[in-house]
Amino acid sequence: MSDAALRRANAEPRWLRHLLLAVGLGFLFIFLLLPLLAVFTEAFSAGWRAYLRALQDDEARSAVGLTLLVAVLVLPLNVCFGVAAAWAITKFDFRGKSLLITLIDLPFAVSPVVVGLVFLLIFGAQGLFGPWLAANGIKIVFALPAIVLVTMFITLPFVARELIPLMEAQGKEEEEAAVSLGAPGWQMFRRVTLPNIRWGLLYGVILANARAMGEFGAVSVVSGHIRGETNTLPLHVEILYNEYNAVGAFASASVLALLALVTLAAKAIVEWRMRRETRMLTANLAAEQN
Amino acid sequence: MSIEIRDIGKRFGSFVALHDVSLHIPTGELVALLGPSGCGKTTLLRIIAGMETADSGQVLFAGEEATHVHARDRNVGFVFQHYALFRHMSVFENVAFGLRVKPRRLRPAEAEIRRRVSDLLQLVQLEWLADRYPAQLSGGQRQRIALARALAVEPRVLPLDEPFGALDTKVRKELRRWLRRLHDEMHISSVFVTHDQEEALEVADRVVVMNQGRVEQIGSPDEVYTNPASPFVYQFLGNVNVFHSRVHGVWAEVGREHTAAVSAGEATAFVRPHDIEIEHRPVAGSLQATVQEVHAIGPLVRVELAHDSELIEVELTRERADVLALAEGQQVWLKPRQLRVFATPPPLLEEGGSGI
Amino acid sequence: MRPLFGPAPLLPGFRLALGCALVYLSLLVLLPLSGLAFKASQLTVAEFWAIASGERALASYRVTFGASLLAASINTVFGLIVAWILVRYSFPGKRLIDALVDLPFALPTAVAGITLATLYAGNGWIGRYLEPLGLKIAFAPPGIVVALTFIGLPFVVRTLQPVIEDIEPEVEEAAASLGASRLQTFVRVLWPALLPALVTGFTLAFSRSIGEYGSVIFIAGNMPLISEITPLLIISKLEQYDVVGATALAVVMLIISFVMLFVVNGLQWWAATRHGARAAGGARR
Q: State the pTM of this model.
A: 0.85
Single-letter amino acid code for the residue at A119: F
Which of B12, B43, B53 lies nearest to residue C9, judging by beta carbons?
Answer: B53
Rama region for C267: left / alpha / beta (φ>0; ψ in -120 to 50; rest): alpha
Q: C-alpha angle with apex C147: C144 to C151, nearest 5 degrees? A: 135
Q: Quick one: A145 and A242 in the same domain?
A: yes
Per-residue pLDDT, B299:
85
User: Is residue A9 domain-resident?
Assistant: no
With CB atoms and an 8 Å threshold, state whether C85 touches A6: no
CATH number (domain holding residue A258): 1.10.3720.10
Query: Could you tell me the sign of the dihedral formed by the alpha carbons of B84, B87, B92, B97, in that order?
Result: negative
Task: Answer whether A190 touches B (CB < 8 Å).
Answer: no
Q: Quick one: A116 and A226 in the same domain?
A: yes
What number of H helices and E strands is found in chain A? Answer: 16, 0
User: Is residue A245 domain-resident?
Assistant: yes
List chain C residues with CB under 8 Å of B51: 8, 10
B299-331 per-residue burial string, b: 16 or more CB within 10 A, e: under 16: eebbbbbebeeeebbbbbeeeebeebebeeebe
Q: Quick one: A27 and A70 in the same domain?
A: no
Per-residue pLDDT, A5:
44
Q: Quick one: A34 and A133 in the same domain?
A: no
Which of C4, C9, C10 lies nearest to residue B13, judging by beta carbons?
Answer: C4
Optimal mutation site among A180, A190, A281, interface B, most CBs of chain B within 10 A: A180
Q: Quick one: A131 and A167 in the same domain?
A: yes
Single-letter amino acid code for the residue at B202: E
Per-residue pLDDT, C278:
43
Q: Which residues contact C65 (CB under 8 A, 6 or more apart)?
A: C210
User: Is residue A7 domain-resident?
Assistant: no
The predicted-structure confidence for B223-237, as pLDDT tens digits, reads as follows 998 888 888 898 888
User: Is residue A25 domain-resident?
Assistant: yes
With CB atoms and an 8 Å threshold, state whether A113 touches C211: yes
Q: Where are the alpha helices (DSSP H) in B41-109?
A: 41-49, 71-74, 91-100
With CB atoms and an 8 Å threshold, state whether B52 touches C4: no
Optimal mutation site among C5, C10, C11, interface B, most CBs of chain B within 10 A: C10
List chain B residues with CB under 8 Å of C11: none
Per-residue pLDDT, B249:
54
The parts of chain B modelled with pLDDT lower than 70 are 244-266, 344-356
Task: List all residues of chain B from 273 to 312 with a beta carbon under 8 Å from chain C.
Answer: none
User: Is residue A62 domain-resident?
Assistant: yes
Task: Answer whether A21 touches B (CB < 8 Å).
Answer: no
Looking at the structure of chain A, the number of domains it has is: 2
Optimal mutation site among A181, A186, A191, interface B, most CBs of chain B within 10 A: A181
User: Is residue A5 domain-resident?
Assistant: no
Q: Quick one: A34 and A146 in the same domain?
A: no
The alpha-carbon gap from B171 to the nearest alpha carbon of chain C, in Å, equals 23
With CB atoms and an 8 Å threshold, state whether C89 touches A103: no
Q: Quick one: A185 and A81 in the same domain?
A: yes
With CB atoms and an 8 Å threshold, state whether C81 touches A6: no
Query: Please, which chains are in contact with C (at least 3 CB pairs closer than 8 A)?
Result: A, B
The predicted-structure confidence for B52-105, as pLDDT tens digits, reads as follows 888 999 999 988 888 888 888 888 889 998 889 998 899 999 999 999 998 989
Q: Quick one: A229 and A137 in the same domain?
A: yes
List chain B residues with CB under 8 Å of A180: 49-51, 71-72, 74, 76-78, 150
Q: Quick one: A185 and A201 in the same domain?
A: yes
Q: Quick one: A101 and A32 in the same domain?
A: no
Per-residue pLDDT, A4:
46
Q: Quick one: A146 and A167 in the same domain?
A: yes
Query: Could you tell me the sign of the dihedral formed by the alpha carbons of B315, B320, B323, B324, in that order?
Result: negative
The alpha-carbon gap from C13 to the nearest alpha carbon of chain B, in Å, equals 14
Q: What domains sit in chain C, N to C, each tagged with a CATH number?
A: 45-280 (1.10.3720.10)
Task: Answer whether A257 touches B (CB < 8 Å).
Answer: no
Which of B51, B137, B142 lies nearest to residue A176, judging by beta carbons?
Answer: B51
Q: Regarding beta strands B214-219 and B206-211, do their DSSP bridges make them parallel or antiparallel, or are they unpaired?
A: antiparallel
List chain A residues with CB under 8 Å of C84: 20, 24
DSSP codes, B246-288: TT-HHHHHHHHHH-SS--SS--EEEE-GGGEEEESS--TT-EE
List chain B residues with CB under 8 Å of A184: 72, 101
Domain span including residue A137: 48-289
Task: List all residues of chain A from 166 to 185 with a beta carbon under 8 Å from chain B.
Answer: 173-174, 176-184
Per-residue pLDDT, A289:
47
User: Is residue A84 domain-resident?
Assistant: yes
With CB atoms and an 8 Å threshold, state whether A183 touches B168: no
Which of C10, C17, C104 lies nearest to residue A84, judging by beta carbons?
Answer: C17
Task: Answer whether B49 touches A (CB < 8 Å).
Answer: yes
Task: Answer whether B82 touches C (CB < 8 Å).
Answer: no
Per-residue pLDDT, B322:
86
The parts of chain C modelled with pLDDT lower than 50 are 1-8, 277-285
The predicted-structure confidence for B245-254, as pLDDT tens digits, reads as follows 554 555 555 5
The parts of chain A modelled with pLDDT lower than 70 are 1-10, 280-290
Q: Quick one: A121 and A37 in the same domain?
A: no
Euclidean distance between CA atoms B191 and B28, whole angstroms: 10
Per-residue pLDDT, A284:
53
With CB atoms and an 8 Å threshold, state whether A181 touches B166: no
User: Is residue A246 domain-resident?
Assistant: yes
* Nearest C-alpha neighbor of A63 from the set A5, A158, A147, A178: A147
